[in-house]
Amino acid sequence: MAKNKADLLQGTLDMLILKALSLGELHGYGVIQRIRQLSDEMLNVEQGSLYPALYRIEQKGWVSSRWDVHETGRDAKFYKLTRAGRKQLETEEASWDRLVLAIAKVRQAA
Amino acid sequence: MAKNKADLLQGTLDMLILKALSLGELHGYGVIQRIRQLSDEMLNVEQGSLYPALYRIEQKGWVSSRWDVHETGRDAKFYKLTRAGRKQLETEEASWDRLVLAIAKVRQAA
DNA sequence: TATGATGCCTAACGATTCTAGGCATCAATG
DNA sequence: CATTGATGCCTAGAATCGTTAGGCATCATA
């Protein structure tokens, strides 16, 4: 990946996707763009990571999808957060906060 | 893993081990104990994660090891951070900070 | 004597991200 | 008109790395 772009850690991608979709329905490629934009270009999700992840997440019932015509006139697959997905997002955010806190504690050590 | 214990994310273990060793030489099992203690029992590294990780890390030259007698009277393998390991720790901490920041940005989004 | 903590290790598995490829459309550029 | 880069979907294979589950030994404690 390009310089200055943080590699994703395994386990963070689902949270990012759910967060992106929590701001409103999006098509797959749009999820990549929104995450990149919101993170000030620091996070770049690869297509080869995104599409399998969206499939996984849909299987788990956290998002639903439908085909529609994008404003550009092209067909695209739109994803929407389900109620279960919103709950999952909260869970993952809480886990993330705990991990960040725990690691901060270790790093505070003299 | 037990409740209230944050699961480690892939990629964080090396940093934690290096950090633990940056506070002074330790034997393998002691690394687990120190991480658990510093994190207020929030992080629990499994032995099956630790020993392979220590091997990896030593191969990369970030730690050196020697057998010695532990204060308990038992033989133990002691690990010590090398100069390269200290540099690696700084690199990993900086990466971690960037990732935490980037994810915070995404989560700040309205 | 039995159990749990300490101390080392390995093998197999599972989960997840990345690289690299394929295919199509569209706008901009030469 | 041809080419290139961005947009849009997808898959296969490789690589990484933490966990589970096992093995073995010592020691303190019950």
Q: What is the pLDDT of residue A110?
A: 74
Is residue B3 pLDDT above 80, yes or no? no
For residues B29 and B51, what is the distance between their CA atoms, to the nearest angstrom? 9
For residues B103 and A15, what is the distance between their CA atoms, to the nearest angstrom? 9
Nucleic chain C contacts, protein chain B, residues 51-110, CB cut-off 7 A: 51-52, 54-55, 70, 72, 74, 76-77
State the average pLDDT over residues B56-61.
96
For residues B34 and A81, what is the distance between their CA atoms, to the nearest angstrom? 41
**Cβ atoms B11, A9 nearer than 8 A:** yes
For residues B24 and A14, what is the distance between their CA atoms, to the nearest angstrom? 37
pTM across the whole model:
0.92
DSSP states of B36-75 as a string? HHHTTT-----HHHHHHHHHHHHHTTSEEEEEEE-TTSSE
pLDDT band per the 50, 70, 90 thresholds, residue B7: confident
Q: What is the pLDDT of residue A11?
A: 92
For residues A102 and A108, what is the distance between their CA atoms, to the nearest angstrom? 10
**Cβ atoms B102, A40 nearer than 8 A:** yes
Phi, psi of A80 (to 5 degrees): -140, 140
Q: Tell me which chain A residues have a C-beta less than 8 angstroms from the C-beta of B23.
A: 109-110
Fill in the DSSP letter of residue A102.
H
**Cβ atoms B82, B62 nearer than 8 A:** yes
| Residue to substitute from A1, A7, A9, interface B, most B β-carbons within 10 A | A9
pLDDT digits (tens, 9 = 90+) for A30-80: 999 999 999 999 999 999 999 999 999 999 999 999 999 998 888 999 999
Q: What is the pLDDT of residue B1?
A: 32
- Between CA B53 and C1' C9 the distance (Å) reads 12
Is residue B5 pLDDT above 80, yes or no? no
For residues B24 and A66, what is the distance between their CA atoms, to the nearest angstrom? 56
Q: Tell me which chain A residues have a C-beta less than 8 angstroms from the C-beta of B16.
A: 103, 106
